[in-house]
Structure 1
Amino acid sequence: MESVIGEETISRAIKLRENFDEMIKEKEQRKQEKKKIPQQQSPHFYVDDRVLRFNARKPQRKGGKQEKSWLGPFTVTAIEGKSADIIDDKGVEFKKINIDLLKHYREDVPHVPHRIHSSKVQTRLSASSTVEENTALQGLSTSLIDADQDLTVQGESSTPLPAADQDLTVQGESSSPLPAADESTAQAVQSGVDIRNTSDRIHNSVQEAWSGKNCYVLLSKVGPYKIFYSDIERFCPGKELESEVINAYLTILVKEHNKCCEEEAFLVDSFAMTAIWNSKFQRIKWDPSRYKIILGVVNDHHHWFLVVIYPNERKTILLDSMGESKLKLRHCLERTRAFMRKKGMPVSRWRCETLPHPLQQDGTSCGVFALKFAEQVLAAKPMMFAAECSSVDVLRWEMATTLLRESDDISSLCHFCGEMEAHDDLTAETLWIACDRCGRWFHTTCVKNPPLDNDYVCTACI
């Protein structure tokens, strides 16, 4: 009798346990269903939407990693099934583009460090995109195009220009553009930058880019890095720099340093330096012991900062325009030691430190500060320089013009793809066409095969 009761009790307990397990399983399934997100669904687009188009040429070309992954922005003009017709801001149309190659475009919103609460900074950020500033930039562009305009200052009168682009003259004497590392930056902020002794075309291009021209025309090439209008536009006040211009400018700095110094410096591009910072060591084939200075700029969550390695001194310098915390210095030390150990360097008693330097006063100038820090390091100068917003605007102007002035020879390159040969040309002979206004040369296939017997005007001159 007792054994029968015991079996019934065990049976009921087993059933309760099974029911309880089923309830838990159903509950977990409902939770998972709520978390499920439909995968590989085509995005929804509508007419007049602003979109970006995937650069399909990038993965198909050697060295394509230096090109932009997305082109645009464009405006959707028509949609039919899986295809969409789009048009860029210059009126160039692209028909039957697969919507899987498109994504929604969102305007950049500058991020402001949480520690900055100054109303002056907020005013500066908002003022960078006001109509008044755009009008001033357009006015300056017009004055630059006029080649016969007298840019000298007579007495106390001067041509009204934006704070970062005024003419710096000394009573009848001309002065060259101030280098970014010059100690008289504060004076340049008050009276501007002299642009008389530099090519008008360079300054016209910068002003056009700053005024909103965004066309896919090559302006400069520094080593493997190609600079277009959109890249120069990123130097405009209130904009964040991108890796292309940062690596190109650092290439110029290191090249000039190695010309005049016996102890060479070595540049690690931002892609490789960021990988080192994240412990993703790449196969970089170089010997650190050959160089006195190894430097590179890291991108950490859209924030740029400089890392300088002295292999023979066994130390690393971290320069962050927002300040260096103890945690960040320790992280830098650990990553540097791990990387140098992998390269066969002794890492005992390795140290990581920083130097006194100014802090950025806005949320978009971290890239400019990183380049300025690198310039000061290579010149063996202190990190003290004017860091007000107007002074940073002067640095932006100087860096943008330097990229165009120190360009490699691009006269024999296509000003659309930056290459000698047209990779999409199926004929044995590459056909070229020149703009009848600016004289730039293009592959006919790159500019959609315009009639060779008609006048041709490139998108930069339209």
Structure 2
Amino acid sequence: MLNHYTAGVILFGDRTQLTSHSLPKVNFDNYEAVLSFVLVNNNHWKLLYIHAKTSTVFLVDPAQSIKELDDSEHAAKRIQEYFRMRRTRHSITDWVDVKWKGGVMGHPLQTDGCSCGVVVVKMAKAVMESFPLIPNVNFECSKKYMKRERRELALEILEASVFDEHTYCAMCAALRPPGSGSPITDWVQCDDCERWYHAQCLAMDSRDIKKAETGYWNCPLCK
């Protein structure tokens, strides 16, 4: 797994940025594939999959795009240039002679404007489970399903994270809930773990909030 920032530099960075992320201690010949996530324009995640056995680079876009093959071919060209830079700068030759080409794999498309991160995580999991084969990724992407998957992923991350649960929402890890909405934010506290949550992040309506405030309430982590 390649750091997402380094992946972004390889695909979109200038020469100075590339040289500062040349990874001279890494021997890519020891790897059969590389996976990473790429943040495009600071608002959209794509999956980068470098499959060494077939010399193919996939830049997978969870949104519908007729340019996916072109984007993958551009990524392959940038990766070729990256390894040539490493040879020039450090006299290392791993992957430098590989003739990288762009490819496209079958995959589902997100159906909303906010699930790209969850979709690429699920695609990465499918890629790893199918390796060394190139998968035809298929899973449900309905808004209802993605909402549940975002919640499950957030809970998984929170369980492995360390942050001030008495100051920030345990679901979104922020002071204010994401997106535009009412300037007034309702908070609820779990009676077991004492974590605080934005009611909005848990999709709680006024009746749910009242029950949580007046009765014994367990958060999703404690249920």
For normalisation by structure 2, the TM-score amounts to 0.59
* Residue 312 (structure 1) shift: 4.4
Partner SS for 1:379: helix
Counterpart selection for 1:310 from 42, 45, 51: 51
Q: Does 1:387 align with 2:136?
A: no
Residue 121 of structure 1 corresponds to which residue in structure 2?
A: none
Residue 100 of structure 2 corresponds to which residue in structure 1?
A: 350
Between 318-327 and 289-298, report the one with greater CA deviation.
Answer: 318-327
Residues 16-31 of structure 1: pairs in structure 2 closer than 5 A: none
Amino acid in structure 1 at the alignment position of 2:28: P
Q: Does 1:290 align with 2:24?
A: no
Residue 319 of structure 1 corresponds to which residue in structure 2?
A: 60
Question: Separation in 2 of the partners of 1:327 and 1:354?
Answer: 10
Partner SS for 2:26: coil
Counterpart selection for 2:10 from 276, 280, 292: 276
Amino acid in structure 1 at the alignment position of 2:57: T
Question: Separation in 2 of the partners of 1:386 and 1:439?
Answer: 34
Question: Separation in 2 of the partners of 1:438 and 1:348?
Answer: 53
Partner SS for 2:108: coil
Question: Separation in 1 of the partners of 2:113 and 2:193?
Answer: 37
Q: Deviations over 1:352-375 (max 9, x none)?
A: 101111111112211111111111
User: Unmatched 5+ residue regions in structure 1?
Assistant: 1-266, 417-436, 441-462
* Residue 310 (structure 1) shift: 2.2
Judge conservation of contact 1:324–1:354 (CA < 8 Å) in 2: no
Question: Separation in 1 of the partners of 2:156 and 2:109?
Answer: 24
Amino acid in structure 1 at the alignment position of 2:36: G
Change (3 A) 1:304 1:324: farther
Question: Separation in 2 of the partners of 1:376 and 1:404?
Answer: 23
* Residue 336 (structure 1) shift: 1.6
Question: Separation in 2 of the partners of 1:286 and 1:348?
Answer: 17
Residue 403 of structure 1 corresponds to which residue in structure 2?
A: 157
Judge conservation of contact 2:8–2:38 (CA < 8 Å) in 1: yes
Question: Separation in 1 of the partners of 2:152 and 2:85?
Answer: 38
Counterpart selection for 1:373 from 97, 120, 123: 123
* Residue 401 (structure 1) shift: 2.0
Change (3 A) 1:324 1:378: farther
Question: Separation in 2 of the partners of 1:310 and 1:340?
Answer: 15
Judge conservation of contact 1:321–1:366 (CA < 8 Å) in 2: yes
Change (3 A) 1:331 1:401: same
Residue 215 of structure 2 corresponds to which residue in structure 1?
A: none
Amino acid in structure 2 at the alignment position of 1:269: N
Amino acid in structure 2 at the alignment position of 1:373: M
Amino acid in structure 2 at the alignment position of 1:397: R
Judge conservation of contact 1:296–1:307 (CA < 8 Å) in 2: yes
Change (3 A) 1:439 1:358: closer
Judge conservation of contact 2:83–2:96 (CA < 8 Å) in 1: yes
* Residue 274 (structure 1) shift: 0.9
How many residues align? The count is 150
Question: Separation in 2 of the partners of 1:308 and 1:319?
Answer: 8
User: Unmatched 5+ residue regions in structure 2?
Assistant: 87-92, 167-191, 196-223
* Residue 290 (structure 1) shift: 1.2
Change (3 A) 1:401 1:337: same
Change (3 A) 1:396 1:351: same
* Residue 414 (structure 1) shift: 7.9
Residue 40 of structure 2 corresponds to which residue in structure 1?
A: 300
Change (3 A) 1:327 1:354: closer
Residue 330 of structure 1 corresponds to which residue in structure 2?
A: 73
Counterpart selection for 1:340 from 72, 79, 83: 83
Change (3 A) 1:438 1:396: closer
* Residue 385 (structure 1) shift: 0.6
Q: Which structure has the larger Rg over C-alpha atoms?
A: 1
Partner SS for 2:141: coil
Judge conservation of contact 1:314–1:347 (CA < 8 Å) in 2: no
Question: Separation in 2 of the partners of 1:358 and 1:319?
Answer: 10
Change (3 A) 1:324 1:334: farther
Amino acid in structure 2 at the alignment position of 1:389: K
